[in-house]
Structures are given as structure tokens and as C-alpha cells.
Chain A
Amino acid sequence: QKEVEQDPGPLSVPEGAIVSLNCTYSNSAFQYFMWYRQYSRKGPELLMYTYSSGNKEDGRFTAQVDKSSKYISLFIRDSQPSDSATYLCAMVWVQGAQKLVFGQGTRLTINP
């Protein structure tokens, strides 16, 4: 079982739809959670960085963390064709080796 599970997709939705991207994890030691957006042949771009359970909003993006269920989500409102990219969840634990563990990434396409 992978430490972080993320559906690779591909996911295709019409412009304007609300997109929900999810990751589950198995290790309760994970404490910090991130979402990255990666366009083809580019480096990952940090979208959201959260620590506590609950919601964090930034413009059209909302990150949700549920530590009791070991589940994190990224919601994109009013999706645009420019949101088409691969979205990677990532998390880091505090005890022991402190390295970022990535999900596999979900490839998202927003159709005009």
C-alpha cells in the first residue's frame, strides 16, 4: 500500500464546473499538507499549504484536510481551461525523516 494514494485520472470536466481532487494517506504522522499544480514540462507550483484540519481558501481554490479520516481535498471553483494541468498532493511528517511524500498526481483537463 502506498503511503499516499491519489487517483491519476485523467479527469475531464467542462469549463465552469467545480472540480474535486482527493488524496488519502495511511500514516497519521503526516502533519503538513500541500497541493501543487504542474503544467506539462514545467516545475510544480505550490497552490496551497495547510497544517490543521479544516478548510483553507485562496481565490477559486479551497484545500480541505480531515486528519481523522486521513483525507485531503482540493476544490477548484469556476474552473478555467488554464487550470488544465496535473495536480499533485504532497505531505510531510514531523517525526523522523522529514521529506515530502507525493501522491501520483491527477491529470485534469478543463474543456471550453
Chain B
Amino acid sequence: DAMVIQNPRYQVTQFGKPVTLSCSQTLNHNVMYWYQQKSSQAPKLLFHYYDKDFNNEADTPDNFQSRRPNTSFCFLDIRSPGLGDAAMYLCATSREAVGAQYFGPGTRLTVT
């Protein structure tokens, strides 16, 4: 089945220790997104790629970076995680920018 896959599902990192979350998709969609979701809140868009074009949200901290080496994969790098970065990180894809977005299962990040 075509899907959005995120690894790992759970990630524990230490304060200040860089961490990378990964997302892959078999939908062959043009657009990939990274969201941060904290408890009882709606997902918050961090950035997205339309093909290779990177689009950063204005309020996304510099601590968050992303890479999309090919159509299928996208990575979220957190350079120096703080306690406030503990959250669920969701990857989503859409065929076009105004299309329906399909989410992966998420990676729950804990910062100790």
C-alpha cells in the first residue's frame, strides 16, 4: 500500500545532542511537509519542500533544518534540541500544494 513512513516512531535524545528524524513516501507526491505537534494542539507547519524547492515558515527556529535528497525521502534535523522541542513530529505529503495532505504516523521525540 502507498503510504508515508516515519522512523523512528519514538526517539529519545539528550539536551543539545543533534537528532535526525526521517520520512519516506511511496505516493510519489511532489510536496513533503514537516509539522510539530504538541499535546492538545493542532499541528504546526515547520517547512515544506515542493520538489527540491525549500520553503521555511517565518517562525521556525534556526535550530530546525531539513533535507530532501530525492522525491521519496525527507529528513528533519534538530541541531541542538531543547526541552521545549519535545513533541510529536509529523511528516505529510501532497501531490500538489493545494492537494489533500497525507500524514505519517509521527515520531514522538523526548528530550532528557
Q: From DSSP, what is the main secondary structure of chain B's interface residues?
A: loop
Contacts of B41 in A (CB 8 A): 104-105
Residue A46 lies at the interface, judged by CB distance under 8 Å to chain B: yes
Contacts of B8 in A (CB 8 A): none
Contacts of B4 in A (CB 8 A): 43
> In chain A between 26 and 43, which residues have their CB closer than 8 angstroms to a CB of chain B?
31-32, 34, 36, 41-43
Contacts of B33 in A (CB 8 A): 100
B103, A44: Cβ atoms under 8 Å?
Answer: yes
A102, B43: Cβ atoms under 8 Å?
Answer: yes
- In the docked arrangement, what's the CA distance between A94 and B97, Å? 9
B88, A41: Cβ atoms under 8 Å?
Answer: yes
| Residue in B40, B88, B99, B101 with the greatest tally of chain A CB atoms within 10 Å | B101
- In the docked arrangement, what's the CA distance between A34 and B99, Å? 10
Shortest C-beta distance, B93 to chain A (Å), equals 11
Contacts of A42 in B (CB 8 A): 105-106
B105, A92: Cβ atoms under 8 Å?
Answer: no
- In the docked arrangement, what's the CA distance between A103 and B40, Å? 12
- In the docked arrangement, what's the CA distance between A36 and B42, Å? 11
Q: Contacts A43-B103, A100-B101 given; indicate if A105 touches B48 (C-beta within 8 A).
A: no
27 contacts between A and B (CB under 8 A): A8-B40, A32-B99, A34-B100, A41-B88, A41-B106, A41-B108, A42-B105, A42-B106, A43-B4, A43-B6, A43-B105, A44-B43, A44-B103, A45-B103, A46-B100, A49-B100, A88-B42, A88-B43, A90-B101, A92-B98, A99-B48, A100-B33, A102-B42, A102-B43, A103-B42, A105-B40, A105-B41
Interface pairs A-B: 8 shortest CB-CB: A102-B42, A43-B103, A98-B97, A49-B100, A43-B106, A43-B105, A44-B103, A43-B104
